Amino acid sequence: MVRVIVEFSEGKVKPVRFWRGMREYEVKNVPMIFERSDGGRKYMCFAVDTGGMMAELAMDCQSYQWSVVSCQSND
């Protein structure tokens, strides 16, 4: 589980900040939003750019819990 702060605007949700472990990341850009299903559960997924890292955040649409699916340095 990961802690995420989101912004709600015009009926859409957008992650603006998240914590992975003790480290805080500010989301600079959300280039892609998509849905994924796994074992009957639906996830809303966000590709996010923090300026130094690309990450995929996923929100479980049933429990509203967030997870970091993957992350990669922009270097």
CA 56/CA 11 separation, integer angstroms: 21
- pTM reported for the whole predicted model: 0.89
Q: How many domains does the chain have?
A: 1
What range does the domain containing 30 cover?
A: 3-73
pLDDT of residue 75: 67
pLDDT of residue 57: 97
7-31 per-position pLDDT tens digit: 999 999 999 999 988 999 999 999 9
Q: Where are the beta strands (DSSP E) in the chain?
A: 3-9, 12-20, 23-26, 29-38, 41-49, 53-60, 66-73
44-64 per-position pLDDT tens digit: 999 999 999 999 999 999 999
